[in-house]
Structure 1
Amino acid sequence: MIFVHYIFPKASSCDKILLKDGKNGGLMKYLKIIGIVVVILAVIGIGIGVKYKMDQQKVQEDMVKVVKANEKLIGDDLKSQDKYHKIKSISINYDSIKKSPMGGIIVDGYVNNKKDLTFVSGLQRYDGSVETDGTAPRARLFDYLEKEEE
């Protein structure tokens, strides 16, 4: 009883919990309850984490669908900057698709099956329709598009 008063000097209810009939039976019961609560909280935390990951995966799949549906729009925007008509095809890097800070979609791609001729494009929803938020060639593609000869 002195040990309990040393740890919990004003907790008379702890005397009843920790020292039931002068033994540690109450302490073991208390620790078992704490253990069960910790396990329940861990299961809930894991469940929330799994749900979050599944939601993120669904959002990513939806963004890929939007980009696939509007690939021609990206190509037309990029080809409008091609004054010598060098762009024959565009390829989208679907692994690069991410949500922009302004709520749209940012995607990387390349032209003419040359992975060093890259561009970045943004898609945004305006008044219910999807439009490009700008398609910008990166340095090598920009230089390639500016030269008259191929």
Structure 2
Amino acid sequence: MKKKWIIILGIVIIIILGLGVKFYMDEEKSNKEMMNVVYSDEAKEVFEIRLKALDAKALTEEGVIHSYKIDKESIKHNPMGGINVTLIINNDSELNITYTINNFNGELSGGASSISEKLSKLLGRWEENK
């Protein structure tokens, strides 16, 4: 009888370990897919269009936004769909924009965005309460 319980316990442990490994592998695959999307040429185009909508002279010497880089640690699955990603502007972590990018009908598009207070002020989009 004791041997039977040990065998059952062993099987349960193997099943739990197997499910854990599968969950981990699925999570890794999902993270890799999100990285591929965020670092794709199509995403770069979406980011640059959105940046130029905020600053007509973005990515030039005359613009407020001279450069951007993707904050790799910020890339997360959005529970409402899409991928959340933060762009660091001009290598200043206080100048950032967080986007939700989505894939609709096989085409990437920028969804909601959130602009840091410091960047918003530089772009002239911030009004102090009087």
How many residues align? The count is 118
Q: State whether residues 123 and 133 of structure 1, in contact with CA within 8 Å, keep that contact through their aligned partners in structure 2.
A: yes
1:73 equivalent in structure 2:
46
Aligned identity (percent) is: 30
Which string of whole-angstrom CA distances, capped at 9 and with x for unpartnered residues, describes residues 50-101 of structure 1? 1101110110110011011112311320221125621111111112111112
1:38 equivalent in structure 2:
9
Normalising by structure 2, we get a TM-score of 0.83
Unmatched tracts of structure 2, length 5 or more: 58-62, 126-130
Q: State whether residues 83 and 145 of structure 1, in contact with CA within 8 Å, keep that contact through their aligned partners in structure 2.
A: no
The structure that is helix-richer by fraction is 1
Bigger radius of gyration, 1 or 2? 1
Which string of whole-angstrom CA distances, capped at 9 and with x for unpartnered residues, describes residues 22-64 of structure 1? xxxxxxxx01110111011101101111110111011011001
> Which of these residues, 132, 135, 139, is aligned with residue 110 of structure 2?
132
1:54 equivalent in structure 2:
25
Q: Which runs of 4+ in 1 moved over 4 A?
A: none
Once residues 36 and 94 of structure 1 are traced to their aligned partners in structure 2, the CA distance between those partners, rounded to angstroms, is 45
Normalising by structure 1, we get a TM-score of 0.73
Please provide the CA RMSD for this pair: 1.6
Unmatched tracts of structure 1, length 5 or more: 1-29
